[in-house]
Amino acid sequence: MIRYYKPTSPARRFRTEPTEKLKTKPYLPLTIPKKRKSGRNNLGRITSRHRGGGHKRRIRIIDFKRDKWDVPGIVRTIEYDPNRKARISLVEYEDGEKRYILHPLNLRVGRTVISSRGKIPLRVGNAMPLQHIPGGTFVHNVELLPGRGGKIARSAASYAVLMSKDDEYAILKLPSGEIRKVSVNCLATIGRLDNIEHSSESLGCAGASRHKGRRPKTRGTAMNAVDHPHGGGRGRSHGGNVPRSPTGIPAKGFKTRNPKKSSSKLIIMRRKKK
């Protein structure tokens, strides 16, 4: 559910947020400090603009590999993670070890989850290879290479659909609309991720954006020609330039995929163009 506020102030007028408030404190042994980089690389140069400030955070160590084989674990808490849109769950296993996992929809506190290389019950939160999952199942946190950890469908409300499979590959339909092949030995977790209404959330004011570490953005057309390819000219003119970054790199239609490192041969259909 989404909460809508009364317009008691200009900032509150357009503010919307989920009604569910997760006030559980994090499990500190599974967190590490997050150093502020403010969009800078190891040389101190800004590589990602409009970053800086924001609330102090700690990184939650998430178990993307789900390699605690055949040991049942009980979901103890459902928590908010400031570093991602998806919720996370704290799972306590029978041997006493605790791990954070991505929280799927309809997984409740007190329920049991398990991960295995073999065939296990088809329940939300369980992780197993794609070869043991029937077609038409919603999965998330899917591996691209066996043993490397989940890489696909990890953000809030996302999921991939297992369309079909053979002896070597499984065919998945991804959230973007892309259809691709993945090895049947790759691990996947059953279910769709929680926080499905995150796209309906509205910050409502600039201050809320600053709390997230996002600084104000200036349009290229509002700059001088020396500062941006879109700058200068009379009125709102971008000089006939196609959309591009301040360094001149095209923003639309520019291929960034490395053909030597990509897995394009496994892609059956490209993602849908907006």
Provide the pairing of β-strand 88-93 with 98-102: antiparallel
Extract the tokens encoding 233: 């000219």
Query: Each residue of 144-175: pLDDT tens digit?
Result: 999 999 999 999 999 999 999 998 999 999 98
3-state DSSP assignment of residue 19:
coil
Task: Report the mean per-residue pLDDT for the chain.
Answer: 92
How many angstroms separate the CA atoms of 211 and 55, rounded?
A: 5
pLDDT, position 273: 65
127, 106 in Cβ contact below 8 A?
Answer: no
Q: Where are the alpha helices (DSSP H) in 128-265?
A: 206-211
131, 110 in Cβ contact below 8 A?
Answer: no
Residue 9 above 60 pLDDT?
yes
Distances (CA, A) of 24 to 21, 28, 85, 251: 9, 12, 16, 41
DSSP notation for 206-260: HHHHHHTTB-----GGGS-TTT-TT--SSSS--TTPPSB-TTS-BSSS-----TT
How many angstroms separate the CA atoms of 25 and 269, rounded?
A: 43
Query: Each residue of 232-247: pLDDT tens digit?
Result: 988 888 888 899 999 8
Task: Using alpha carbons, select from 57, 86, 38, 67 the residue that is nearest to residue 186.
Answer: 67
Query: Each residue of 185-217: pLDDT tens digit?
Result: 999 999 999 998 888 889 999 999 999 999 999
How many angstroms separate the CA atoms of 35 and 47, rounded?
A: 16
How many angstroms separate the CA atoms of 189 and 160, rounded?
A: 10
Phi, psi dihedrals of residue 42, rounded to the nearest 5° = -70, -15
At residue 29 the predicted structure's pLDDT band, cuts being 50, 70 and 90, is: very high
How many angstroms separate the CA atoms of 102 and 26, rounded?
A: 14
Distances (CA, A) of 232 to 76, 99, 244: 58, 54, 15
The structural domains of the chain, ordered by start, are 17-34+55-198 (2.30.30.30)
Size of the chain, expressed as the number of residues it contains? 274
Spatial neighbors of 21 by CB under 8 A, at least 6 apart, are none
Query: Each residue of 82-141: pLDDT tens digit?
Result: 999 999 999 999 999 999 999 999 999 999 999 999 999 999 999 999 999 999 999 999
